[in-house]
Amino acid sequence: MGIKAQNISKSFKNVTALKNISFDVKEGELFGLIGPDGAGKSTLFRILTTLLFADKGNATVAGFDVVEDYKNIRKNVGYMPGRFSLYQDLTVEENLEFYATIFGTTIEENYDLIKEIYIQIEPFKKRRAGKLSGGMKQKLALSCALIHKPKVLFLDEPTTGVDPVSRKEFWEMLKRLQQKGITILVSTPYMDEAELCDRIALIQHGKIMQIDTPQEIINHYPKNIYNISAENMHNLIECLNEYEHNYSVYPFGENVHYTDKRDLFNSQELYDFLQSKNLKDVEINNTIPTIEDVFMELTK
Amino acid sequence: MKIIGYIIQKEFKQIFRNKGMLPIIFAVPLIQLIILSNAATFEIKNIKFSYIDSDNTSFSRALVDKFDASKYFNLVARFPSTKEANSAMLNGDVDVILEIPKYFEKTLLKHKKTDLGVTIDAINGSAAGVENVYITEIVQNFNKNARVELMQPSDVINMPKNITTITSFWYNETLNYKTYMVPGILVLLVTLITLFLSGMNIVREKEIGTLEQINVTPIKKYQFIIGKLFPFWMIGLVLLTIGLIIAKLIFNIPIVGSLGLMYFYTSVYLLVILGIGLFISNFTDTQQQAMFIAWFFMVVFLLMSGLFTPVESMPTWAQYITEFNPIKYFVQVMRMVMLKGASFSDIFPQFIKTLGYAVIMNGLAVWSYKKIN
């Protein structure tokens, strides 16, 4: 059993953080919660890791109920909060040893599980955790979350504020952990990371909008999407917004993604329109949608 | 046990690595003990004394000389009239005005009785009271000597027999206020440091987010709390030790009672303070909030502890409130044991109340510490 959540709702005073959230994570699955800041991802994590009671609904983690059986959950899950929350004034080794001890185990006992990750920060084991770089902090936090060999691993925005190279490495580590049979629930605001998950849930304003594999979600994208570039991006967006047939216009990297209201779209017509607006170096290409495009479509 | 031991070890590592806190924990209280014990005195000295001498005889001058010779009074001015004297007092230039009437010597000789006018600036009421006592003492002394000098031989037979009281001050023979203050200030410091440290410690873990990480572990409430508070209990006892050494070496305070009893009582007392500290940190989210609340309780407890003003002179309702003041009991016990050599049976009432307080506060603290919101 991985994770099973049914109709979870949670409000804080007058803010509704989660509305009827239901989803399943299979054992050994790498499941992603994708959504912008404030979507309710962290609240959901806190409920599933027994730090917070839901107002409504129930959930099980590793087969244990989050309310009745919270003691067993705490023995069997690893949690890495969004904010770095290890002791900054203790060294790398002391932090790891501390968490090993309070879980009633030792570093040696589960060393094989964390070896690949810990070996990268081992040269700095006498350094205080507060003095580590962002990427190294993440590795230490992950090591600490894994030291008791959890069945389910919760990672709340593990790559926020981490450089692209470390992010890539981090996801490779997750894939390897998954192969060791650990169920992983990871949240991220980065859409590009979504494609690395087995399945994802797109979450916005406390509601899950879609759950599927990344490929299926992309396959269901209803529109043809066009990648448009021009010399002046700001003017380009303004002109496209003026164009009467536009359905959606939003910046995507260095270009603009555009969809049209009509099923039959003539790119030459748009090209001429943009030329008439004195835009230079205009290029229009059909492109493959990404998770980000799906998300923009869903939140429209 | 292993887990508690490890948390304690971790806590000590963090305390000794905190280069900002370490001197505050150990050096500052000792400096305070030395400074406060010397400065917080009940003796009133350097009273600004002035007088109006309308008699102007050698007899009246002799009275003024008595004041001038006293170590408590500084002669600052002689005024020709009451009006000028009063305006000087209004300006705060003088604290006391002694008015010697005309024919002071003559009246005394003739009628064996005369009046002296004394005006005291009573903005600080307790100081004024003490000044009044000093003045009365000097005048009485003067009066006694004067009677002998002025008496006629025939009067000797008719002289009424005088009753003289001979006072002996027990437990503090020389009326050294330091003997009285040092045990109290020691109490203040032990309480202050342990309350603030324990109050802010768990809040700090909340602030930096580590508490959340701890809460998802299978660690038991009691393990965590004991592990967190034990180091501060130790620090409290270390502070007591250093304070006692200073009391003995620098202030030469007599330590009459049993050291073992003092430590035994303090170790129970510290549990009360740590319980209060933990209770505060359970209801606050930032160190700043915890600090303010701890400070509030500290000030109330201190001012109502009998450390500076005797509990017996407070209004009745306030005396009832002091029953809930753990610092009051600690001050009483320290003074009783240190200066009077009280035994366990003497401090038993205080001990039982403190123990009860410790059980209640720690019970509340453990109950209100929640791993789940």
Assigned token pair, A94? 């002391």
- At position A65, the amino acid (one-letter code) is D
How confident is the model at residue B240, as a pLDDT?
Answer: 92
For residues B276 and B295, the answer to whether their CB atoms sit within 8 Å is no
Topology of domain A3-219, per CATH?
Rossmann fold (3.40.50)
- Helix B58-69 to helix B104-111 angle (10° resolution) is 100
Q: Give how far Cα B257 sits from Cα of A127, A240, B332, B340, B346, Å.
A: 49, 91, 13, 7, 11
Do A49 and B216 count as a contact with CB atoms less than 8 A apart? yes
- Helix B177-208 to helix B221-249 angle (10° resolution) is 150
How confident is the model at residue B169, as a pLDDT?
Answer: 65
Q: For tokens 């003041």, what's the residue? A: B325
Say which CATH superfamily domain B47-158 falls into. abc type-2 transporter like domain (3.40.1710.10)
How confident is the model at residue B151, as a pLDDT?
Answer: 59
Do B212 and A85 count as a contact with CB atoms less than 8 A apart? yes
User: Which residues of A are less than 8 Å from B10 in CB distance?
Assistant: 87, 90, 94, 98
CB-based burial label for A198 (10 Å; 0-12, 13-18, 19+): middle
B221/A contact by beta carbon, under 8 A = no
B351 has a pLDDT exceeding 90: yes
Query: pLDDT tens digits for A72-87?
Result: 999 999 999 888 888 9
According to DSSP H, which parts of chain A are helical?
41-48, 70-76, 92-102, 111-121, 134-146, 164-179, 191-194, 214-219, 233-242, 267-276, 291-298
A161-170, B121-130, B230-239, B250-259: range with lowest mean pLDDT? B121-130
Facing residue for B217 by CB, picked from A52, A88, A102: A102
User: Which residues of B are less than 8 Å from A146 in CB distance?
Assistant: none
**For residues B324-334, average pLDDT:** 91
**For residues B95-119, average pLDDT:** 84
Q: Is A246 helix (H, G, I), strand (E, B) or coil?
A: strand
Query: pLDDT tens digits for A169-227?
Result: 889 989 999 998 899 999 988 888 888 899 999 898 888 988 999 888 888 888 888 88
User: Which residues of B are less than 8 Å from A89 in CB distance?
Assistant: 13-14, 17-18
Q: Give how far Cα A2 sits from Cα of A23, A28, A62, Å.
A: 11, 7, 5
Confidence bin at B266 (pLDDT 50/70/90): very high
CB-based burial label for B101 (10 Å; 0-12, 13-18, 19+): middle
pLDDT averaged over every residue in chain B: 85
Assigned token pair, B304? 């109502």
The residue among A24, A75, A14, A70 whose CA lies nearest residue A47 is A70
Facing residue for B373 by CB, picked from A52, A75, A103: A52
**Strand pairing of A152-156 and A77-80?**
parallel
Facing residue for B218 by CB, picked from A71, A87, A89: A71
Q: Give how far Cα B262 sits from Cα of A84, B37, B330, B333, B339, Å.
A: 44, 20, 10, 8, 12
B contact test, residue of A102, A107, A154, A157 with most B CBs within 10 A:
A102
How confident is the model at residue B372, as a pLDDT?
Answer: 64
User: Which residues of A are less than 8 Å from B209 in CB distance?
Assistant: 81, 83-85
- DSSP lists the bridge partners of residue A64 as A61
CATH number of A225-298: 3.30.70
What are the boundaries of each domain within chain A? Answer: 3-219, 225-298
Assigned token pair, A279? 């835009």
Do B14 and A51 count as a contact with CB atoms less than 8 A apart? no
B271 has a pLDDT exceeding 90: yes
Assigned token pair, B268? 């129970």
In B, minimum Cα distance to A153 occurs at B216
For residues B85 and B79, the answer to whether their CB atoms sit within 8 Å is yes
How confident is the model at residue B172, as a pLDDT?
Answer: 64
A92 has a pLDDT exceeding 90: yes
Global ipTM: 0.77
Query: pLDDT tens digits for A229-270?
Result: 888 888 888 888 888 888 888 888 888 888 888 877 777 888
Query: pLDDT tens digits for B111-162?
Result: 777 788 888 888 877 778 878 888 888 888 887 777 666 655 555 555 555 5
Q: Is B164 helix (H, G, I), strand (E, B) or coil?
A: coil
Q: For tokens 């009467």, what's the residue? A: A244
How confident is the model at residue B368, as a pLDDT?
Answer: 86
The residue among B71, B90, B79 whose CA lies nearest residue B117 is B79
